[in-house]
Every structure is written in C-alpha cells, then in structure tokens.
Amino acid sequence: MKKLLLVSFFGMTSAIASNQITIDQNDFPGADDTALVSISDDTNLDLTQTGTNFTWDYSDLHIASQRIDTFFNVSDASFLYQTQFNNAFTEPDYVSDFYSNLIGFDLPGASGAGIDISKPVTFVRITGTSYENVGLGLELNGFEVPMAADTIDVEYELPMGFGDSWSSDSYIYVDLNPAFNGIFQRLQYRTSEVDGWGSITTRFGTFDVIRVRSEIEYIDSAYVDFGAGGTWLPLPTPNEVVYTWWSEGNKVPVMKVVAQVIGGNETITRVEFKDQSRNLAGIEESENFAGQIYPNPANGIVNLTFDSSVDQVIIYNIAGEVVYQNSVTESTMNIDVQSWTSGVYLVKLIGDESVSSAKLIVE
C-alpha cells in the first residue's frame, strides 16, 4: 500500500525549546511514499535571518494551492527509464531508490531551439553518506529521453548537521536523437551550507529543524542541427538559491523556498511547505484524466472506467489519507461509497508513464 507521509495535525507540535538535530538517510522518502504540500503566493519573505537556536515563524502564510507529491517506484517506470536507472548489471552507478516529478523545471530558450519539453522527472539515489540526483527524464518532442548525469549531483551530504557544508559539480551530456537532431548539455555547480538550526512554525505545526542554503549555478546549452550544419545555442537558465528546512522523520522538507538570482538579487519564485489537506478543491486536477467517474456526485456505487494505460487507482480523503487502493485489471471498476463520509475525495490513476487525478464528491 502506498504510504502517505502525513501525520495528524494534533499532537505533532514539538516543545517550544529547540533541539539541535541531525538529518540522516532515514529522514528522506522512499519508493511509494507520498506527501501533501501547500504552495503559498507570499513571496515577500526575509531569508537572511538565521543562526543558532533560531526561531522561524511562517505560521501566517497564505495557501494558494496544494498538491500531492509521489515518490514513484523505479520498477514502475517505463522500460526505457528502467534500462538507465534500474539496471544493476550495466548501469550500477545509476540504480535509483525512486523518481518524482521535477517541480519548477524549465529550460529558457528551448522552444526557440525547436525543443518541446514535457513530463520532467528526477531520479534519486540515497545512501548513508549522500542524497544524489543521478539523472533526469524528459519527453522531448513526444519522445521519452533518459538523461543520466555523467557527473552526479550530490544534493545533500549525510548525515547533515549545523555547520556542515559541501559542494558538488555535476554534468549532463545527452544526444537527443531520435527525439531531436541535437545535443543537450548542462554544467551545474552547487554550494551548500547548513546555516541555521532551531524551530520553525508553519500552518502545519512547529518542528525542530536545520536549515540548508544551496546556491546553484546552471550553464545550459543545446547543439541544434537544422540540416545545414549545427550550432551550439546557450539556454539562459537563471541561477537559483534554494532554502530547505529539515526535521526528523518528515521525509520531505517541512518548508522550501526557491529564489532566482536576477541582477545579483534573490527573487523568490516558489514557497511551499509540508501540510495536511485544507481543501481538496485546491489540489490541481489533471487536464487529461485517464478515465471517467460517474455518477459524480455519488452516494452509492461509483463507476470508474479507465484508459488502457492505467495500472492502479488510489483515492484520498480530505485528510490526505488513502481510503481506497486497487490494481486495475479491467477497463471498469465499481466502488461502494455509501459508508464514506460526505465530502471531496481525490481519485488518482497511475500508469507506467503517467499519473492523472480528478475529484470525486460523496454526498
């Protein structure tokens, strides 16, 4: 069964006094874990304040939307991705613990080079000494392309405590054929420091944490051949500064802030924190739901029909808990919701290469 990485809002707050903690590999997610995340549109935050036994108070952040992050089992990935990232025989350095959607990924200028990018994912390996991004997966012009890192990005050195620092240079060089007659190249330079410890309060609760500040420089380019000789084109990806607050046992950062470096200044582009479900109506539905739900609203039997690509159905209640889960062996399924609590539910359909979701209302 999928493990939903949520805890009850009650009883989760820590004591007011902070403890200096250490984060290790057990504090990160594993395959088939999920986490509910709230996204805030409050971007006027002072991130310069940090230190020892520091208190961060973000309890009044406005929630603009929510999403459910899934850490997919690599054995459920497509054959092409498994060949690269789940192949201990020929690619032992890239065997991953899970893969997940790559939030906020973009390559400015790619469309101008004739490259259509969709469904970005990242493949992750976790050991006792590091959390590593071993490569990416993208659909380029409709073709699935695995991008293994020639030099692997170490996002976190473990165990991780206040005062620790590390740097990691990584490199990706991928021939894009047959998706595109060209080459993609990324040089990345990461410098990280655990620059504070103390307690953080969000709308989810209060936690003992350490804060990690990472500066990331990207140098992206693409070699494009339009048939008359190729040329290298720079892809002007902005540098980033990423702040993450980690607590013991929560598997994902209890808060994360991403800023782009523009004109030497940090401009916050994303603020999110681990949360419980506030209102499932705020969770984004997929535009192309891989099936149908009827009747909806319902108070008895719900009928689900599936596209051929769907392998599994999971339904979450408003608390973010899994209330139903089953493998899909036929094109239709009937679920009795008569005893379910009235409210909004999220129906999630999972296939080898896609995940889609839609809301179900039980009256």
Residue 5 confidence (pLDDT) above 60:
no
- For 337, the 3-state DSSP assignment is coil
The predicted model gives 108-136 an average pLDDT of: 87
Q: Kind of pairing, strands 3-4 and 33-40?
A: parallel
C-alpha 25/C-alpha 35 separation (Å) is 17
- Higher per-residue pLDDT: 52 or 180: 52
What per-residue confidence (pLDDT) applies to 262?
A: 87
Going from the N-terminus, what domains does the chain have, and what CATH number goes with each?
3-274 (no CATH), 284-362 (2.60.40.3080)
The mean pLDDT value for 245-253 works out to: 96
Question: Does the pLDDT value for residue 42 go beyond 60?
Answer: yes
Whole-number Å distance between alpha carbons of 74 and 146 = 13
CB 158 within 8 A of CB 129: yes
So what's the pLDDT on residue 8? 36
CA atoms within 13 A on the CB side of 206: 14
Of 177, 123, 131, the closest CA to residue 155 belongs to 131
Contact 73, 29 (CB under 8 A): no
Q: pLDDT band at 230, cuts 50/70/90? A: confident
245 — pLDDT class (breaks 50, 70, 90):
very high
| Nearest partner of 306 among 328, 323, 291, judged by Cα | 291
| Residue bearing the bigger pLDDT, 106 or 231 | 231
Q: What is the pLDDT of residue 241?
A: 98
DSSP string over 259-299: EEEETTEEEEEEEEEE---S-GGGBPPPSS-SEEEESSSBS
Higher-confidence position of 215 and 227: 215
Fill in the DSSP letter of residue 164: -
- Band of pLDDT at residue 12, cut at 50, 70 and 90: very low
The pLDDT assigned to 285 comes to: 64
Please give the average per-residue pLDDT across 258-281, as a whole number. 86
Percent of the chain predicted with pLDDT > 70: 89
What letters, b where the CB count within 10 A reaches 16 and e where it falls short, cover 100-138? bbbeeeebebbeebebebeebbbbbbbeeebbbbbbbbb
In 3D space, the residue among 104, 86, 32 whose CA is nearest the CA of residue 257 turns out to be 104
More confident residue, 232 or 5: 232
Q: Residue range 238-255: average pLDDT?
A: 97
Strands 343-351 and 355-362, how do they pair?
antiparallel
CA distance 25 to 43: 30
pLDDT value of position 149? 96
Q: Report the distance separating Cα 158 and Cα 297, nearest Å.
A: 48
Q: 327 in helix, strand or coil?
A: strand
- Mean pLDDT lowest among 64-73, 92-101, 247-256: 64-73
Query: Which residues have C-beta within 8 Å of that of residue 299, sequence separation ≥ 6?
Result: 337, 338, 362, 363
Rounded Cα–Cα distance for residues 332 and 172 (Å): 43
Look at 215 and 276; give whichever has higher pLDDT.
Answer: 215
pLDDT score for 110 = 66
Higher pLDDT, 108 or 105: 105
**What does the pLDDT read at residue 108?**
67
pLDDT tens per residue across span 185-225: 999 999 999 999 999 999 999 999 999 999 999 999 988 88
Q: What is the average pLDDT score of the chain?
A: 87
Q: What mean pLDDT is predicted for residues 52-77? A: 91
Instruction: Give the Cα separation of 208 and 112 in Å (integer).
Output: 46
Output the pLDDT for position 311.
86
pLDDT at 133 over 90: yes
d(CA 170, CA 217): 10
The span from the CA of 279 to the CA of 320, in Å, is 10
Q: Examine the pLDDT at 287 and tell me if it is beyond 90.
A: no
Return the percentage of the chain with pLDDT > 90, whole number: 55
Q: Is the pLDDT of residue 10 over 50?
A: no
Q: DSSP string spanning 41-98?
A: -----------TTEEEE-TTPPEEEEEEEE-B-GGGS-HHHHHHHS-TTT-GGG--SE
The band of 112, judged by pLDDT with boundaries at 50, 70 and 90, is low
